[in-house]
Amino acid sequence: MAAIVTDHLHRKFRKTVAVRDLSFAIEQGEVFGLIGPDGAGKTTTLRMLAGVLKPTSGRADVLGEDVVGNPEALRGKIGYMPQHFSLYGDLSVLENLTFFAEIYRVPSQERKERIARLLRFAQLEAFADRPAGKLSGGMKKKLGLACALIHSPQLLLLDEPTNGVDPVSRREFWDILADLHLQGVTILITTPYMDEAERCNRVGLMFRGDMIQQGEPEALRRLAPGEMLVLYTPALAQAEAVLPEFPDYIEHQVYGDRIHIFVSDADAARPRLQTFLAQRHIPIQSLYQDEPRLEEAFIYLIRQARLA
Amino acid sequence: MSMIRQIVNIAWKELIQIRRDTFLILFLVLAPTMQLVLISRNTSRGLSDIPTAVLDLDQTAMSREFVRELDTTREITVRYYPPSHDDLHHLLDSGDAQVGIVVPRGFSREFNSPVDAPARVQALVDGTNVLIGSMIEPVIVGVMGLFVQRHVQMPPGVDIGGVEVDASALFNPTFNIQWFVIPSTVAFIVYQVALVLAATGFVREKEIGTLEQLLITPIRRLELIIGKALAPIGLSILNFMLLLAVQTWGYDIPMRGSPALLILVAALAIIAIVGVGTLISLFTQNQQQAVLLVFLLAILEVTLSGYMLPVENMPLVMRGLAQISTLQHFMTATRAIILRGATLSMILPHVLALAGIALGAGLIAWRAFSRQIA
């Protein structure tokens, strides 16, 4: 059974279309990642699914409830973490958890045990009495997640929960999500990090309010054009300028001190590219074939969409 | 039952937050008390010790006695005795003296035989200070009156003429201005604090993003509105009682009506004020906007309240607006209970108006809130 089904979901802000005729479905128990550039409509989609923003048109069923027609029915059934830290900074970690436990009507006999478990889970036991406003960025996010989980929701909507969080905390956060996934919780998460997107069961790529691709990370990765060669050179700018003249060239992406070049057949192209660059006096530090990651596919797909 | 629990949950959270906010507590307790003390101190004094220059051209025993008499009044302190008109004007121009009094030659002669020409003194006042100008004339006239009583032997029963004014002030026999100012100020302070507390309530949660978080919980909007209003209402009622105690025992303002009725009416007014504040909070995007709106509304309501100009003397439009001013009803009704011992039936129109405002604001807040989200 599907946890989320949307049908031509549409939202306009004055004249700007934030989400355009969006139709997709998320199965129960899935971890679904929404990726896309800023302004693609990810947050708007999440807010509509959480029932805090009314769609201009279209339909969305969340956990079997019609969000558009009856947003009240969803109250208390989902966990939602908005993009910005949204707990009470002047209340302590424990007070925040207790407050949300009460608001969500967690039975009092279960409350204590559940709060203790969540504190352990979020590794915040030592900070229970600290004001939430004085936590580090990563701890705030974990507390936010703990509060969103206080009523054991079957669906979690997380809006860039790890944005601005250090890599160690990010990893810990994802360990928690992995546990939840094992418990059967459905998770819809937006993220700007491709390594996080690769940890999802499925990924949807949004662009200009539309979902232009969706599928398993592995399948999306294969949408990168052809095969990939990685070139390290000190003459990055010159190399970039001449590459489009190379016969097999499809596309290239610059990553710091290296260029990822897409060609139809890497084995055949590699020696030819070596000669091509040597003729133009561009030194090569190394040139080798590598598997395209989700990131390359993502950039390629966004470029294609921009051209279209 | 569960509705009450949810309301209590929200109200309790609000209380914890207010208790942690040191600045807010200062704002709640210290600021109102200081405001009350300052305003009442300044209004109690009235004008006193105005530096005065006297040019005594008569130089008789009687003229000197007259000057001494002026000096003994609370308002006037004779500080300069300039030798000439020019020196007197110089003192007034420089601002060293704010009042100049000229006792003309022949003052005592004219005084003793008022039939030929009445005795006159001339007072020169800095007209840019309207307060002094309007206060000084009765003082001099008063001294003259005393002087007349003392020095003119009248056959009994003979009126020396002039108009005798016999004003007897009802409820406030000594015309003590504090009796008007302090209860009005108490109402205004409570109004201000309640309005700011309520007006920043929702908008603060909007700013930090917790409102969105609350909206996906099972809590209902009405529970949220009432829960968030309870803390400002409760604190403002306490605030009112505190200031009422200061007013009654610190400043000896009489308490002629029923204290219970007074507190009930104040509570109703506070509910109405918090209702209006909640509306402001729901319709603004950040705390800055909310505080600016509160500021504008407070200025408007003070003007309409009758604090500066009696409502009966206002132009028709303002009189109409005053009918929807919570502060006006709050001030008028509480003053009536405190000073005149008014009963419920006497202030019923104000009570009904306050109830109407409270109900209306609550209803609009509830409807507007429902439409705003989802």
For residue B47, name the pLDDT band (cuts at 50, 70, 90): low
Domain with CATH 3.40.1710.10 in chain B: 55-148
Residue in B9, B208, B374 closest to A103 by CB = B9
Measured in angstroms, the CA of B285 and the nearest CA of chain A are apart by 16
Backbone φ, ψ for residue A188 (5° rounding): -115, 120
What separation in angstroms does the CA of B163 have from each of B135, B160, B173?
Answer: 19, 10, 21
Contact A84, B209 (CB under 8 A): yes
Shared domain for A195 and A263, answered yes or no, is no
Residue A305 is assigned to a structural domain of this protein: no
Closest listed residue to residue B98, CA positions, set B130, B60, B146 = B130
Give yes or no for residue B59 having a pLDDT over 60.
yes
Task: Write the single-letter amino acid at B271.
Answer: I
- Among A193-202, A213-222, B168-177, name the one with the lowest average pLDDT: B168-177
| Claim to verify: residue A82 and residue A174 sit in the same structural domain | yes
Inspect the interface and report whether the beta carbons of A99 and B9 lie closer than 8 Å.
yes
How does pLDDT run across B81-134, given as a tens digit for each residue?
Answer: 999 999 998 888 888 888 888 988 888 887 777 666 677 788 888 777 766 766
CA–CA separation, A139 and A172 (whole Å)? 10
Same-domain check for residues A195 and A241: no
What is d(CA A100, CA A147) in angstroms, rounded to the nearest whole number?
Answer: 6
> If we measure between CA atoms, which residue out of A223, A230, A231 comes closest to residue A297?
A223
The residues on A that touch B, with CB distances below 8 Å, are 47, 50-54, 71, 74-76, 78, 80, 82, 84-91, 95, 99-100, 102-105, 131, 147
Residue B344 CB burial class (10 angstroms; 0-12, 13-18, ≥19): middle
Q: Which of B2, B8, B15, B216 to mutate to test binding with chain A, by most A CBs within 10 Å of its CB?
A: B216
* Signed CA dihedral, A49, A55, A60, A63: sign only: positive
Question: Quick check: A88 and B219 CB within 8 A?
Answer: no
Model pLDDT for residues A226-267, shown as the tens digit of each residue: 899 999 999 889 999 999 999 889 999 999 889 999 998 999
Tell me: do A203 and A103 sit in the same domain.
yes
pLDDT in tens, A38-47: 888 999 999 8
With respect to residue A296, please indicate whether it lies within any of the assigned structural domains. no
Note whether A130 and A153 are same-domain residues: yes
Number of helices (H), then strands (E), in chain B? 15, 4
Of residues B21 and B297, more confidently modeled: B297
pLDDT at B360: 96
Residues of A whose CB is below 8 A from B219: 75, 103
Nearest-by-Cβ selection for B17 from A75, A88, A147: A88
Q: Which of A195, A221, A247 is the last residue of a domain?
A: A221
From A201, A221, A241, give the residue that closes a domain: A221
What does the pLDDT look like over B4-38, one tens digit per residue? 989 999 999 999 998 888 888 888 778 888 888 88
Considering the domain architecture, whether residues A157 and A29 belong to the same structural domain is answered as yes
What distance in Å separates the CA atoms of residue A125 and residue A117, rounded to the nearest whole number?
Answer: 9
Q: What is the ipTM of this complex?
A: 0.75
Nearest residue of A to residue B221 by CA position? Answer: A72
Give me Rg for the CA atoms of chain B: 28
Give the per-residue pLDDT at A77.
Answer: 86
**Residues sharing a CB contact under 8 Å with residue B95, sequence separation 6 or more, in sequence order:** B126
Residue B209: list chain A partners with CB under 8 A.
Answer: 82, 84-86
Residue B344 contacts residue B257 (beta carbons within 8 Å): no
Q: Which of B16, B213, B217 sits opposite A91 (nearest CB)?
A: B16
Pairing of strands A78-81, A155-159: parallel
C-alpha dist (Å) from residue B117 to B150, B161, B264, B340: 19, 15, 63, 48
Contact: B213, A105; criterion CB under 8 Å = no
Residues in chain A: 308
A123 — phi, psi (to 5°)? 55, 45
Res A156: pLDDT: 94
The answer to whether residue A128 sits within a structural domain is yes
- The phi-psi region of residue A87 (left if phi > 0; otherwise alpha if psi is between -120 and 50; otherwise beta) is beta
**Beta-carbon-side half-sphere exposure of residue B340 (alpha carbons within 13 Å):** 13
Q: Which helix (H) or strand (E) holds A229?
A: strand A227-232
Q: How far is CA A242 from CA A148, A268, A273, in A?
A: 52, 19, 11
Q: Residue B153: phi, psi to the nearest 5?
A: -85, 120
Question: Do A92 and A205 belong together in one domain?
Answer: yes
pLDDT at A270: 92
Question: Which chain A residues are closer than 8 Å to B217 by Cβ?
Answer: 75-76, 100, 103-104
Q: Do A216 and A231 sit in the same domain of this protein?
A: no
Helix (H) or strand (E) segment spanning residue A286: strand A286-290
- The whole-number pLDDT of residue B257 equals 92
Which stretch of A51-55, B356-360, B363-367 has the lowest confidence by average pLDDT? A51-55
Interface size between A and B, measured as CB pairs under 8 A: 74
* Contact call for residues B240 and B266 (beta carbons, < 8 A): yes
Of B305, B338, B298, the closest CA to residue B319 belongs to B305
Rounded CA gap, B343 and B341, in Å?
6
Residue B63, token pair as written in the block: 């003229």
Higher pLDDT, A82 or B351: B351
Range of the structural domain that residue A266 is part of:
227-291
Same domain, A188 and A242: no
CA distances to A240, A252, A256, A258, B357 from A237, in Å: 5, 12, 11, 11, 71
What is the pLDDT confidence band of residue B43, given thresholds at 50, 70 and 90?
low
In a domain, A252, yes or no: yes
Position A30 scores a pLDDT of 95
The shortest CB-CB distance from B21 to any of A78, A87, A90 is to A90
In angstroms, the separation between the Cα of residue A188 and the nearest Cα of chain B is 16
The pLDDT value given to residue A136: 87
- Report, as an integer, the average pLDDT of A105-134: 90
> b/e per residue, B94-122, with b = 16+ CB within 10 A?
eeebbbbbbbeebbbebbeeeeeeebebe
- Do residue A53 and residue B374 have CB atoms under 8 angstroms apart? yes
**Region of B232 on the Ramachandran plot (φ > 0 left; ψ -120 to 50 alpha; else beta):** alpha
3-state secondary structure of A34: strand
In the predicted model, what is the mean pLDDT of residues A108-120? Answer: 89
Q: Looking at the structure, tell me whether residues A187 and A92 fall in a common domain.
A: yes
B140 band by pLDDT with thresholds 50, 70 and 90: confident
Helix (H) or strand (E) holding A258: strand A258-263
* Residue A129 sits in the same domain as residue A246: no
User: Which among A44, A54, A86, A96 is the top mutation candidate for probing chain B, defined by the most B β-carbons within 10 Å of its own β-carbon?
Assistant: A86
Which of A52, A84, A131 comes nearest B216 by C-beta? A52
Mean pLDDT to the nearest integer, A217-222: 90
| Shortest Cα–Cα distance, A248 to chain B (Å) | 51
Which region among A82-91, A100-109, B38-47, B339-348 has the lowest average model confidence (pLDDT)? B38-47
Q: Do residues A57 and A96 both lie within one domain?
A: yes
Dig out the tokens for A7 from the structure. Answer: 């049908």
In a domain, A101, yes or no: yes
pLDDT at B170: 65
Amino acid at A41: G
Q: Is residue A300 part of a domain?
A: no
CATH for A273 = 3.30.70.100
> Do the chains contact at A103 and B218, CB–CB below 8 Å?
yes
Domain boundaries B55-148, CATH class: alpha beta
Residue A304 counted as domain residue: no
Residue A76 confidence (pLDDT): 81
Return the CATH number at A114: 3.40.50.300
Residues of chain A in contact with residue B10, where contact means CB-CB under 8 angstroms, are: 103
Domain-located, residue A100: yes
Reported as a single tens digit per residue, the pLDDT across A143-164 is 988 998 899 899 999 999 888 7
Count structural domains, chain A.
2
Confidence at residue B126, expressed as pLDDT on a 0 to 100 scale = 73
